[in-house]
């Protein structure tokens, strides 16, 4: 079907130019350009706070074929990514749950969408040269002008974005996964327990995804989400049975308040972390982090559990990682490893009930193979509540 098109361009900080057409909201956006290898889950990706400040390139040839289901499939209160880039955006949404096309969703929420470019060439460029800052625009199509703007985009190194996306006030979360058909997580098919019967969990919100909160509720936890800058003393005053450090965007080393809180919480309650929370926990225990060349983003990443030998297919979204070369100086053990490039993907404390993973055990989007991480957290909390002697924590 013919449609009106709006010329647009992406220009990277190294001078590479990609002309295309806008299919979302027009305008101009500065962002770090990264790529995601997932074939589905674009709505979850778009609404994941960990993508704040980033323009996400999808490697699938056509995006948006099943439309958008606002609310249920959102991982936060709305889009957080700066822009979406794809080869082609579908004009038709073929799914009984869909309420609009992807393009209409982006326009309504004022998010830039760019299509019609050679995404294969762009992804190869980012893979070989690393993630790049760039500018996407319908307002300025002059290459030299756009290049100057691209070079002004903020560097992710040293950038604290957790304080930007975190909740301003504490709140309770009570929504479970519920009955979502045969594709729902395996844990949600088990008999429900009385809400709160497993204890209370405080989630420190560095950019938390709703999928994490739903997993905790489905395991009968009373869940309270607190702002990223909440001090350890304030958390302990709430007498939680466990604390989880959430995922989030930006440089973990810049989240100094989170590192300080994690250090003070160690040994007081079971302390677990996901993604950015994993990095913050590692930094609190003396490890170091580094920015990756182009990061891990997708829902098909193989990760080996070093303690069982089992290989998990997992969901990823991170541009920073914990440096394994310094782990021997800490009380941490490496529990998981990427089979793509050897990146450290999981840790646990040798003595305390404390563990974390770099990947996303909740999926959203992605497989459910790693959801046993939450079962390990639940067991650690059960032991803590019984005041039994605590062995070293484990994800399983």
Of 125, 215, 318, 360, which one is the catalytic site residue? 360
CA torsion angle 321 327 332 336 (round to 10)? 50
Could you tell me the CA-to-CA distances from 270 to 89, 108, 258, 334 in Å, in that order? 45, 42, 16, 18
Cβ-contact 281, 330 below 8 angstroms: no
**Pairwise CA distance, residues 209 & 63, whole Å:** 22
Burial 137-148 (b: 16+ CB within 10 A, else e): bbeeeeeeebbe
Task: Kindly write down the DSSP assignment for every residue of 23-87, as one continuous string.
Answer: -S--SEEEEEEEEE--SS-HHHHHT-GGGBTEEEEE-SSEE-TT-B-TTTT-SSSS--BSEEE-S
Out of 21, 125, 275, 371, which one is annotated catalytic?
A: 275
Can 318 be counted among the known catalytic residues? no
Phi, psi of 355 (to 5 degrees): -155, 160
Residues 245/258, Cβ–Cβ less than 8 Å: yes
Instruction: Examine the residue annotation and report whether 86 is marked as an active-site residue of this protein.
Output: no
Q: Which of 222, 362, 371, 395 is catalytic?
A: 362
**Cβ 46 vs Cβ 77: under 8 Å:** no
135 by DSSP, 3-state: which? strand
Tell me phi and psi for residue 140, to 5 degrees. Answer: -135, 115
Residues 221, 199 contacting (CB under 8 angstroms): yes
How long a stretch of residues is the chain?
A: 396
Q: What are phi and psi of 57, to 5 degrees?
A: -95, 125
Q: How far apart are CA 352 and CA 52, in angstroms?
A: 33
**Residue 24 · residue 83 · CB < 8 Å:** yes
Q: For residues 51 and 27, is the Cβ–Cβ distance under 8 A?
A: no
Place of tokens 């950015």: 276
Whether 108 sits among the annotated catalytic residues: the reply is: no
Determine the Cα–Cα distance for residues 220 and 124; give it in Å rounded to an integer: 45
Catalytic residue numbers read: 275, 360, 362
């Amino acid at each position: 079907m013919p449609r009106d098109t709006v010329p647009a361009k992406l220009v990277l900080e190294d001078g590479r130019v990609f002309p295309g057409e806008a299919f979302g909201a027009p305008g101009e956006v500065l962002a770090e350009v990264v790529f995601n290898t997932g074939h589905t889950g674009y709505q979850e990706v778009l609404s994941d706070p960990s993508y704040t400040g980033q323009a996400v390139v999808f490697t699938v040839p056509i995006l948006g074929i099943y439309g958008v289901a606002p609310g249920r499939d959102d991982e936060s209160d709305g889009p957080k990514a700066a822009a979406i880039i794809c080869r082609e955006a579908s004009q038709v949404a073929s799914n009984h749950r869909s309420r609009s096309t992807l393009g209409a969703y982006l326009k309504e929420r004022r998010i830039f969408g760019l299509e019609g470019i050679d995404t294969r060439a762009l992804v190869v460029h980012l893979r070989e040269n690393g993630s790049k800052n760039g500018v996407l625009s319908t307002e300025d199509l002059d290459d030299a002008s756009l290049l100057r703007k691209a070079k002004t985009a903020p560097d992710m190194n040293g950038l604290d974005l957790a304080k930007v996306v975190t909740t301003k006030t504490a709140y309770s979360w009570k929504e479970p996964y519920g009955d979502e058909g045969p594709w729902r997580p395996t844990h949600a098919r088990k008999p429900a327990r009385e809400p709160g019967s497993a204890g209370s969990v405080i989630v420190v919100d560095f950019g938390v995804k709703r999928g994490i909160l739903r997993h905790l509720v489905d395991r009968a936890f009373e869940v309270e989400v607190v702002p990223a800058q909440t001090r350890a003393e304030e958390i302990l005053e709430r007498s939680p049975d466990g604390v989880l450090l959430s995922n989030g965007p930006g440089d973990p080393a810049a989240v100094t308040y989170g590192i300080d809180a994690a250090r003070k919480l160690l040994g007081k309650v079971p302390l677990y972390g996901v993604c950015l929370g994993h990095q913050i926990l590692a930094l609190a225990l003396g490890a170091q982090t580094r920015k990756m060349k182009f990061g891990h983003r997708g829902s098909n990443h193989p990760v080996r559990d070093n303690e069982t030998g089992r290989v998990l297919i997992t969901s990823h979204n991170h541009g920073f990682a914990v440096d394994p070369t310094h782990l021997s100086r800490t009380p941490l053990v490496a529990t998981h490893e990427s089979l793509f490039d050897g990146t450290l993907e999981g840790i646990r404390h040798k003595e305390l009930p404390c563990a974390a993973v770099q990947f996303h055990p909740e999926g959203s989007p992605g497989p459910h193979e790693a959801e046993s991480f939450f079962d390990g957290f639940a067991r650690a909390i059960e032991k803590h509540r019984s005041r039994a002697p605590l062995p070293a924590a484990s994800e399983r």
